[in-house]
C-alpha cells in the first residue's frame, strides 16, 4: 500500500478522525532547529552494539558515534581505529562518571546486561547526559522508577530502545489494528529461538532478571498493546519449559494470555525451540500479520487485502535519529521511560501468574503507570 492511498483508507475507516499529528514519526519527523549532530557514547560493546548500533550510526543524520565505554582494554583500539574515536572519548566502568566533563558526548546508550541498566542510566543522567536504555528497561519496576526519577531530576531525556516503533511494517500494523480497518480482532504472538550456549548472561537470573520473557516476550507484549491500541486489563500465564534441567535459573519457555477491553492476546516465548517470531491479528475480514515480525530486517507483512509493500528501513538508525531530534527540538519521546516501566510491570505480573499455577492477575494499576498514547 502506498502512503497516500493508505492514509485515505484510514480516513475512510476512521470517519475522518485521523489527524496529521497522528501520522507515524518515521514519516512525519519535525525538522531540526539546528544543524549540530549529537554525539552518542555506547556503554557496553557486545554483539548488539557492534553488529547493529555502531553500523547504524554511520547512517544517521542527526547523531554520530562519539565515544565508547568498555571494560575490555583490547576493544578500545579496535573501535577507535574502526570508527575514528579519539582517546579522550574512550571510557571504562571505573572512570565512567568523568564523562560529565565531555561536551562531545550528548547521549549515552546503555547496552549492558539487564541488571546493569539501572546503575548506568542513573549515573549517565547524573553526569548530565540524555539516555537511551536497551530493553527491558530494568529487572524490577522499582529500578525503572529510580531511572525515570534520575533523568527527571537531571533535566535529561530518557528513552527505551524499542526500535520497532520506528519500523514501517510494525508501524502499519499499529495503524491498521488501532483503527480497526478490518474489524474486531484477537491477537496471537510468539517469539523464540534455540539458545545453544546456555552459559551466556541471558540464562543467568542475576544478570538477566528472567528468561525469554524478558528478552523476547517483551516484543510480543509490545506488539499486542500497539496493535490493539489498548492497555491489558488482566493476565494469566504458565511455565511451559520443555527441559527444566537445562534451565536452573530462568524459564526455558512460558505462555501467557492478556485480556484487553476489546479482545484477547495469546502469546508464547522460548529459548528451547527453533526460531519463529510473528504478530498476528485474526480479524473479522481475515489475517493481519507480520511474519517475521521482530527481527532487524527481512520483515514481511500481509493484510486481508494483500501484502504490505512498505519500504524497509534501518530500524536502529531511525530510532537514534528520532531521539536526537527529540533533544534538539525538545519534543516528546515516542518510547519514554514510562513505557519501559509499563512493560516491566506487565512482565512481573506474568511471572506472578505463572508462579501461582496460571492464576488470573488483574492489571488494575497499569493505567496509572502510563496513559496509552494511540496513533
- Positions marked active-site: 135, 219
Q: Which residues pair with 280 in a beta bridge?
A: 188, 289
In this structure, are residues 323 and 337 in contact, taking their beta carbons and an 8 Å threshold?
no
Q: Which residues pair with 244 in a beta bridge?
A: none
- Is beta strand 272-283 parallel, antiparallel or unpaired with respect to 286-290? antiparallel
CA pair distance 72, 128, nearest whole angstrom: 25
In this structure, are residues 128 and 154 in contact, taking their beta carbons and an 8 Å threshold?
yes
CA pair distance 204, 213, nearest whole angstrom: 13
CA pair distance 291, 289, nearest whole angstrom: 6
- The Cβ of residue 32 has, within 10 Å, a number of other Cβ atoms equal to 17
CA dihedral 169, 221, 287, 302 (to 10 degrees): 20
Amino acid at each position: 500500500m502506498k502512503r497516500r492511498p493508505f492514509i485515505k483508507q484510514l480516513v475512510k475507516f476512521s470517519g475522518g478522525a485521523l489527524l496529521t499529528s497522528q501520522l507515524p514519526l518515521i514519516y512525519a519527523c519535525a525538522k531540526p532547529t539546528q544543524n549540530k549532530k549529537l554525539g552518542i557514547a555506547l556503554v557496553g560493546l557486545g554483539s548488539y552494539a557492534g553488529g547493529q548500533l555502531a553500523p547504524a550510526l554511520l547512517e544517521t543524520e542527526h547523531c554520530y558515534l562519539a565515544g565508547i565505554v568498555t571494560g575490555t582494554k583490547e576493544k578500545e583500539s579496535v573501535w577507535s581505529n574502526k570508527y575514528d574515536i579519539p582517546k579522550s572519548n574512550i571510557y571504562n566502568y571505573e572512570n565512567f562518571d568523568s564523562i560529565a566533563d565531555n561536551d562531545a558526548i550528548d547521549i549515552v546508550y546503555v547496552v549492558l546486561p539487564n541488571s546493569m541498566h539501572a546503575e548506568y542510566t542513573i549515573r549517565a543522567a547524573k553526569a548530565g547526559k540524555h539516555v537511551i536504555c536497551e530493553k527491558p528497561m530494568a529487572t524490577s519496576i522499582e529500578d525503572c522508577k529510580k531511572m525515570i526519577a534520575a533523568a527527571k531530576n537531571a533535566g535529561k531525556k530518557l528513552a527505551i530502545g524499542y526500535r520497532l516503533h520506528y519500523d514501517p511494517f510494525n508501524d502499519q500494523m499499529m495503524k491498521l489494528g488501532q483503527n480497526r480497518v478490518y474489524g474486531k480482532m484477537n491477537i496471537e504472538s510468539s517469539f523464540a529461538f534455540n539458545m545453544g550456549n546456555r552459559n551466556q548472561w541471558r540464562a543467568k537470573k542475576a544478570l538477566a532478571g528472567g528468561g525469554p520473557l524478558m528478552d523476547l516476550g517483551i516484543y510480543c507484549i509490545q506488539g499486542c498493546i500497539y496493535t490493539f491500541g489498548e492497555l491489558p486489563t488482566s493476565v494469566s500465564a504458565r511455565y511451559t519449559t520443555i527441559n527444566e534441567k537445562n534451565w536452573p535459573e530462568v524459564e526455558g519457555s512460558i505462555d501467557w494470555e492478556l485480556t484487553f477491553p476489546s479482545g484477547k492476546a495469546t502469546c508464547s516465548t522460548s529459548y528451547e525451540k527453533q526460531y519463529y517470531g510473528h504478530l498476528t491479528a485474526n480479524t473479522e475480514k481475515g489475517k493481519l500479520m507480520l511474519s517475521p515480525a521482530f527481527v532487524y530486517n527481512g520483515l514481511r507483512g500481509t493484510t486481508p487485502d494483500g501484502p504490505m509493500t512498505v519500504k524497509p528501513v534501518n530500524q536502529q538508525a531511525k530510532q537514534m535519529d528520532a531521539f536526537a531530534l527529540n533533544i534538539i527540538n525538545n519534543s516528546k519521546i515516542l518510547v519514554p521511560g514510562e513505557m519501559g516501566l509499563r512493560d516491566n510491570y506487565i512482565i512481573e505480573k506474568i511471572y506472578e501468574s505463572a508462579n501461582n499455577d496460571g492464576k488470573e492477575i488483574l492489571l488494575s494499576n497499569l493505567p496509572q503507570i502510563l496513559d496509552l498514547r494511540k496513533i
